[in-house]
């Protein structure tokens, strides 16, 4: 049996070209995966920064709205607002506070006060739905 060196060299060249193509393709794929990992890391950092800013916003809202909503004629509501501001309100306290704020909203006619109460209710809803607050 005689070996045709031209065919053998051609087959070897095809094998090397295919291997080279697969390796370069895998290199690109690994590069793409690394790029994706890097991008996801950047997104994670940006999300953590955004989360911090949102938490600061809602904590500020919690304090300011508590100050604005307090009324000497509503002793129990003021107690609940103090707990809410101190982050010690239980879920039952938050439900009771929400009910009292809704009742107070019905009683007042001043639109500015109603708006403040609406923001306070939104703030309570946010903290009731935030799993970190539980």
DSSP letter, residue 131: G
What residues make up the domain containing 103?
5-133
Kindly report the pTM of this predicted structure: 0.60
| Burial (Cβ within 10 Å: 0-12, 13-18, ≥19) of residue 32 | exposed
Which pLDDT score, from 0 to 100, does residue 132 have?
A: 62
Whether the CB-CB separation of 121 and 62 falls below 8 Å is answered with no
What total number of domains does the chain contain?
1
Q: Summarize pLDDT for 7-56 with one digit per residue, the tens.
A: 767 777 887 888 777 777 766 766 777 788 888 888 899 889 898 888 88
């Amino acid at each position: 049996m005689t070996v045709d060196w031209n065919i053998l060299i051609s087959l070897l060249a095809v094998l090397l070209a295919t291997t080279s193509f697969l390796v370069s393709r895998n290199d690109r794929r690994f590069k793409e995966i690394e790029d994706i990992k890097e991008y996801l890391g950047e997104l994670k950092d940006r999300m953590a920064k955004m989360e911090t800013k949102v938490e600061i916003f809602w904590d500020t809202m919690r304090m300011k709205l508590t100050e604005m909503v307090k009324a000497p004629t509503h002793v129990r509501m003021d107690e609940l607002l103090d707990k809410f501001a101190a982050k010690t309100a239980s879920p039952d306290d938050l439900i009771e506070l929400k009910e009292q704020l809704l009742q107070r909203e019905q009683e007042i006619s001043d639109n500015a006060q109603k708006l403040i109460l609406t923001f306070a209710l939104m703030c309570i809803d946010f903290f009731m739905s935030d799993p970190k607050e539980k």
